[in-house]
């Protein structure tokens, strides 16, 4: 391991060779072997375009729209295309570095709005279903909100009645997922929105994983419950372009119902000697390459491309669920309808199955406390390996049930 800056310069080919050597230990995403982190769909025209687009703005900084009006225009267009997709053309918002930042900003906006409009609240609270993404808990921790996590129902959805009972005088915002990461289930957003509106609190819909899936699934004739700004009471939404918008990291969008809410997201400071500092998002400097690549992905794929890739994801997921249910002892949690889900085992330890699949070269999610389920997020690249995966899974389950594979000493983790 290098711990000091080298005393002499290295040749460029040696630097690149060292990087490639370190990458030998990385998962081979190009072969569709990873399910627990969203990866590029494949190497091809899209991949080449995104790299070229990223490099075209490699040194440009999104902090300065005056210096780089091209980046400002691309950001505006990405935000507006996403707003249109999610049922609210013209909605105010911003391009962010990822879902964690988008969710952070939604919580920050709710907090600052409450400070202005409900100054009697000294200890604001956020209500989350147990399945909500941990980035929202991180935001609550950083921003000084009390987090109230509520158990989900038997179908792995947010339990509206329990969330209603959790509302108190200090509640300022609730969260619903579309869908949730652990089980791929869309929360009852209409019911949550009606509840939030009646109680006078904000409702943030975390559609980081589904924002670029559900609208296209609906157009493909799939059953998609109302989840976006078409639902009165939804006040903010997050959607990741670097997941199933197929852009590279990091690109996400945060949107609001109106300008009044959005204004609470902004940060402006001039009490120093350097001039006014005004930014809408958390970072100052922002890589221009990520902005250009997000814009390129949306324009290159267009509606036809997203429909095609969403259909591939959904059909591959259906085949995986069908195959998993046919393996003795395995069952899928809840009734997932889209391209991520979790499954359990009656006969073999989940940890043993996870270990066995790693021996075959697969990387899948291990989740629960204690570990109780395996998680798959399905991308277009998995279509070509689905039968191989199911074959290896069947062999692994049989070995695990017979005790031939022992669970490795590991804990469930998201990252």
Average pLDDT over residues 238-252: 95
What percent of the chain clears pLDDT 70, i.e. is strictly above it? 94
Q: pTM for this structure? A: 0.93
More confident residue, 370 or 82: 82
Strand partners, 239: 253
- Residues 189 and 187: their CA atoms lie apart, in Å, by 6
In 3-state terms the chain splits into helix, strand, coil percentages (rounded to 5) of: 40, 15, 40
List pLDDT tens digits, range 46-77.
999 999 999 999 998 888 888 889 999 999 99
- Residues 187 and 157: their CA atoms lie apart, in Å, by 5
Task: Write the CATH number of the domain with boundaries 303-401.
Answer: 3.90.1150.10
pLDDT score of 202 more than 90: yes
Which of the 8 DSSP states describes residue 30? Answer: G
- Choices 1.10.3720.10, 3.30.200.20, 3.40.640.10, 2.60.40.10: CATH for 51-299: 3.40.640.10
Equal fold, 51-299 vs 303-401: no
Per-residue pLDDT at 163: 97
Name which of 188-192, 205-209, 312-316, 411-415 the model is least confident about: 411-415
Per-residue pLDDT at 32: 76
Structure tokens belonging to residue 133? 């993404």
- Residues 329 and 63: their CA atoms lie apart, in Å, by 53
Nearest to 373 by CA among 328, 323, 414: 414
What are the start-end ranges of the E strands in 179-229?
A: 202-206
Could you tell me if 203 and 224 are in contact, meaning their C-beta atoms sit under 8 angstroms apart? no
- Residues 283 and 62: their CA atoms lie apart, in Å, by 10
- Residues 164 and 174: their CA atoms lie apart, in Å, by 10
Per-residue pLDDT at 87: 96
Per-residue pLDDT at 346: 82
Instruction: Report which secondary-structure segment, H or E, holds 103.
Output: helix 99-117
Which of the 8 DSSP states describes residue 235? Answer: -
pLDDT score of 409 more than 60: no
Instruction: Report which secondary-structure segment, H or E, holds 310.
Output: helix 288-325
pLDDT score of 340 more than 90: yes
pLDDT score of 29 more than 80: no
Structural domain spans, the chain: 51-299, 303-401
Nearest to 394 by CA among 347, 337, 338: 347
- Residues 346 and 351: their CA atoms lie apart, in Å, by 12
Nearest to 171 by CA among 206, 192, 146, 154: 146
Write 391-394 long-range contacts (CB < 8 A, 24+): 392/357, 392/360, 392/362, 393/323, 393/324, 393/327, 393/353, 393/357, 394/327
* N-terminal to C-terminal alpha carbon distance within the chain: 23
Per-residue pLDDT at 91: 97
Per-residue pLDDT at 64: 82
Structure tokens belonging to residue 100? 């964690």
pLDDT score of 408 more than 70: no
Sheet holding 373-377, edge to edge: 330-332, 340-345, 373-377, 365-367
More confident residue, 408 or 254: 254
- Residues 93 and 80: their CA atoms lie apart, in Å, by 8
Task: List CB contacts of 299: < 8 A, sequence separation 6 or more.
Answer: none
Strands 171-177 and 125-129 come out as parallel
- pLDDT confidence tier of residue 412, bands split at 50, 70 and 90: low
Task: List CB contacts of 58: < 8 A, sequence separation 6 or more.
Answer: 288, 289
- pLDDT confidence tier of residue 403, bands split at 50, 70 and 90: low
Task: List CB contacts of 229: < 8 A, sequence separation 6 or more.
Answer: 83, 86, 87, 88, 91, 237, 255, 257
List pLDDT tens digits, range 96-146.
999 999 999 999 999 999 999 999 999 999 999 999 999 999 999 999 999
Could you tell me if 148 and 124 are in contact, meaning their C-beta atoms sit under 8 angstroms apart? no
**Preceding peptide of 112 cis, ω within 30°:** no
Per-residue pLDDT at 25: 83
- Residues 364 and 36: their CA atoms lie apart, in Å, by 5
Per-residue pLDDT at 410: 62
Strand partners, 342: 375
For the chain, the average pLDDT equals 92
Average pLDDT over residues 377-402: 90
Strand partners, 176: 205
């Amino acid at each position: 391991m290098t711990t000091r800056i080298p005393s002499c310069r290295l040749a460029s080919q040696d630097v690149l060779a060292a990087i490639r050597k370190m990458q030998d230990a990385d998962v081979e995403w190009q072969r569709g072997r990873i399910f627990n982190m969203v990866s590029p769909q494949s190497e091809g025209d899209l991949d080449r375009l995104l790299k070229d687009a990223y490099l075209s703005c490699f040194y440009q900084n999104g902090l300065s729209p005056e210096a780089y009006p091209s980046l400002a225009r691309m950001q505006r267009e990405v935000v507006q295309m996403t707003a249109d997709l999610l049922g609210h053309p013209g909605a105010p918002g911003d391009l962010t570095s990822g879902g964690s930042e988008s969710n952070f900003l939604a919580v920050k906006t709710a907090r600052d709005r409450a400070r202005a409009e409900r100054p009697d609240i000294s200890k604001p609270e956020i209500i989350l279903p147990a399945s909500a993404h941990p980035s929202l808990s991180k935001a609550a921790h950083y921003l000084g909100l009390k987090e109230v996590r509520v158990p989900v129902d038997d179908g792995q959805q947010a339990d509206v009645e329990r969330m209603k009972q959790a509302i108190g005088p200090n509640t300022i915002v609730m969260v619903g997922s579309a869908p949730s990461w652990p089980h791929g289930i869309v929360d009852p957003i209409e019911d949550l929105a009606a509840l939030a509106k009646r109680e006078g609190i904000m409702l943030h819909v975390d559609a980081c994983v589904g924002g670029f899936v559900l609208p296209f699934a609906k157009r493909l004739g799939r059953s998609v419950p109302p989840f976006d700004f078409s639902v009165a009471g939804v006040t903010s939404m997050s959607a990741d372009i670097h997941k199933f918008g197929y852009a590279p990291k990091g690109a996400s969008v945060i949107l609001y119902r109106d300008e009044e809410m959005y204004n609470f997201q902004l940060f402006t400071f001039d009490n120093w000697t350097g001039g006014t500092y005004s930014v809408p998002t958390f970072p100052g400097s922002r890589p221009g390459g990520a902005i250009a690549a997000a814009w390129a992905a949306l324009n290159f794929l267009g509606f036809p491309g997203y429909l095609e890739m969403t259909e591939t994801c959904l059909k591959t997921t259906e085949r995986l669920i069908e195959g998993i249910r046919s393996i003795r002892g395995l069952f899928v949690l809840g009734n997932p309808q889209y391209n991520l889900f979790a499954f359990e085992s009656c006969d073999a330890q989940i940890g043993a199955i996870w270990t066995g699949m790693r021996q075959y070269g697969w990387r899948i999610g291990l989740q629960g406390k204690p570990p109780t389920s395996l998680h798959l997020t399905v991308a277009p690249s998995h279509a070509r390996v689905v039968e191989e995966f199911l074959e290896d899974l069947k062999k692994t389950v049989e070995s695990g049930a017979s005790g031939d594979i022992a669970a490795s000493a590991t804990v469930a983790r998201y990252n």
